[in-house]
């Protein structure tokens, strides 16, 4: 492959790009320049990036080419592959804002563990992708960037959050794969509205170091255009030798798992009820479509009631917990700075500031019981199928149309299917189902019924991918 074909480099999957780099049919510098050009032309329109690092990227790409020339790539599976990191994790030498114009940007001396593993695997650092302040809301719009992250399928609709910038960038072909993090659906909902695969691994498969919470609800994970590409990135960031909080030894290869097919009949629980009320008919249709495919593949599909429905007390516990965490993170912030926080951060901080220690502990107890119920209800199944969200990608600003303080409740109603996997630690993956008549992508969530069932989940998702054939579906900006 020569520079004359650079305009179609992003048509290749990440796995194919890695193969082309190893075969030296494309150079890492050429590939990096291709993506930097696309970011320059399209990134601002999509609200996808916070910082780009072209000088660093080209230095790392040139070093990757030198390594390839020496044959020094045996232990660097991502060597020369461009990537960007979510603007919430420490990245050595790159400023990270945490989505906040109030808090000072931090240029760390050391990478977060998952970031460092990806970089050690040879990936080229293009910069940071847009994330909301402290990763709180399920939309991505900050004063740091000055425009929202939008789904490339409709520039008037949100790319969701908090990995919205990463999802927008991958879907538009600005990066081949992306690093995300997920504390209550922050990988899966952006993947769903941008037509991508998004993996929330089992708790401990990816290191949380440097851990900021004892409870381990959030985890890093991959976003990609297909299952194999997601598995490739997950392999790079996965824990092999546990030595930290919650860490779990990962299997030898998630890519190999994504290429295997089930050799036994799986028992699959399916539900669409969110516990909050009406679900968009397209989201229900997406689940029905995937359930029929699983039956066609020989698996037993069982319709069940929502195994972990929300109630009023649980909703309050959820917001008490998040509010308590935010209040702790921002303790000591001067009042004038606190007033300048983004609206939803401010709401959470104020809620947390009103809590006593006993209230916070009570919230964690309620959430733990919620997770226990979910795990117990799924114990007789291999996996579960549900919507990722209760609706399609929302028009920009939708969550804040109404009374002040209602937005967090609207966001939870829209994304009610995703937090329990974080609370329970179970693995989950969002996979594309179809595109609506209006051209909006729909995702479906598969949840593994046991911690560590990630390989089975990737295998089933890849088999469904073959049936659906979404890998060549792209938004209008793809060809620009």
Give the bridge partners for 181, in sequence order: 220
State the pLDDT at residue 84. Answer: 98
The 10 Å CB-count burial string (b at 16+, else e) for 422-451 is: bbbbbbbbbbbbbbbeeebbbbbbbbbbbb
**Rg, Å, the chain Cα set:** 21
State the pLDDT at residue 210. Answer: 85
* CA 252 remoteness from chain centre: 22
Lookup result for tokens 């004359």: 4
Lookup result for tokens 């320059």: 40
State the pLDDT at residue 111. Answer: 97
State the pLDDT at residue 174. Answer: 98
State the pLDDT at residue 1. Answer: 38
**Residue among 160, 162, 163, 207 flagged as catalytic:** 162
As a whole number of angstroms, the distance between CA 411 and CA 200 comes to 19
213 is catalytic: no
State the pLDDT at residue 321. Answer: 97
**Residue among 86, 158, 258, 349 flagged as catalytic:** 86
Nearest by Cα to 280 from 420, 443, 99, 53: 443
Task: Count how many residues are written for the chain.
Answer: 480
86 is catalytic: yes
Lookup result for tokens 């295997």: 260
Residue 56: Cβ-neighbour burial (10 angstroms; 0-12, 13-18, 19+) = middle
**Residue among 100, 163, 186, 258 flagged as catalytic:** 186
The structure's pTM equals 0.97
- For the chain, which domains are there? 3-479 (3.90.1300.10)
327 is catalytic: no
- Whether residue 412 contacts residue 420, with contact meaning beta carbons closer than 8 Å, is answered with no
State the pLDDT at residue 403. Answer: 77
Q: Which two tokens stand for residue 22?
A: 């190893």
State the pLDDT at residue 4. Answer: 39
Distances (CA, A) of 402 to 117, 275, 397, 416: 43, 22, 10, 20
Per-position pLDDT tens, the chain of length 480: 343 344 489 999 999 999 999 999 999 999 999 999 999 999 999 999 999 999 999 999 999 999 999 998 778 999 999 999 999 999 999 999 999 999 999 999 999 999 999 999 999 999 999 999 999 999 999 999 999 999 999 999 999 999 999 999 999 999 999 999 999 999 999 999 999 999 999 999 999 988 777 788 999 999 999 999 999 999 999 999 998 888 999 999 999 999 999 889 999 999 999 989 889 999 999 999 999 999 999 999 999 999 999 999 999 999 999 999 999 999 999 999 999 999 999 999 999 999 999 999 999 999 999 999 999 999 999 999 999 999 999 999 999 998 778 999 999 999 999 999 999 999 999 999 999 999 999 999 999 999 999 999 999 999 999 999 988 899 999 999
């Amino acid at each position: 492959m020569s520079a004359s074909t650079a305009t179609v480099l992003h048509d290749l999957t990440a796995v194919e790009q890695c193969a082309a780099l190893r075969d030296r049919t494309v150079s890492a510098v050429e590939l990096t320049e291709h993506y930097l050009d696309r970011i320059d032309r399209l990134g601002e329109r999509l609200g996808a990036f916070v910082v780009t690092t072209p000088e660093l990227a080209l230095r790392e790409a040139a070093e990757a080419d030198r390594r390839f020339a020496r044959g020094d790539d045996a232990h660097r599976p991502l060597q020369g592959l461009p990537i960007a990191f979510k603007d919430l994790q420490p990245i050595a030498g790159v400023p990270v804002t945490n989505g906040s114009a109030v808090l000072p940007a931090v240029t760390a001396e050391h990478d977060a563990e998952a970031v460092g593993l990806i970089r050690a695997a040879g990936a080229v650092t293009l910069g940071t992708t847009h994330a909301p302040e402290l990763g709180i809301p399920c939309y991505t719009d900050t004063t740091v960037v000055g425009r929202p992250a939008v789904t490339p399928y409709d520039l008037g609709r949100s790319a969701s959050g908090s990995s919205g910038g990463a999802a927008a960038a991958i879907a538009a072909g600005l990066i081949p794969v992306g690093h995300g993090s997920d504390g209550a659906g922050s990988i899966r909902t952006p993947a769903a509205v941008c037509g991508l695969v998004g993996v929330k691994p089992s708790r401990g498969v990816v290191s949380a170091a440097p851990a900021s919470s004892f409870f381990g609800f959030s985890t890093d994970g991959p976003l990609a255009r297909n299952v194999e590409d997601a598995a490739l990135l997950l392999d790079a960031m996965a824990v092999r030798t546990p030595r930290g909080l919650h860490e779990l030894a990962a299997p030898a290869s998630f890519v190999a798992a994504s290429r295997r097919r089930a050799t036994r009949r799986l028992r699959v629980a399916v539900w669409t009820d969110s516990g909050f009320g009406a679900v968009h008919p397209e989201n229900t249709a997406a689940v029905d479509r995937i359930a029929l495919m699983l039956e066609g593949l020989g698996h037993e599909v069982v319709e069940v009631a929502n195994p972990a429905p929300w109630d009023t007390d649980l909703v309050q516990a959820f917001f008490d917990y998040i509010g308590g965490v935010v209040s702790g993170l921002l303790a000591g912030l001067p009042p004038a700075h606190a007033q300048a926080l983004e609206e939803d951060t401010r709401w959470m901080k104020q809620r947390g500031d009103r809590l006593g220690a006993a209230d916070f502990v009570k919230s964690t107890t309620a959430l733990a019981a919620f997770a226990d119920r979910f795990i117990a209800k799924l114990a007789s199944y291999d996996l579960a199928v549900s919507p990722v969200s209760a609706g399609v990608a929302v028009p920009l600003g939708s969550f804040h149309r109404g009374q002040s303080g209602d937005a967090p409740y609207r966001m939870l109603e829209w994304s009610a299917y995703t937090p329990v996997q974080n609370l329970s630690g179970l693995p989950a993956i969002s996979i594309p189902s179809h595109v609506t008549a209006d051209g909006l992508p729909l995702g479906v969530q598969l949840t593994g019924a046991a911690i560590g069932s990630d390989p089975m989940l990737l295998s089933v998702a890849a088999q469904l991918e073959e049936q659906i054939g979404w890998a060549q579906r792209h938004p209008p900006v793809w060809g620009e």
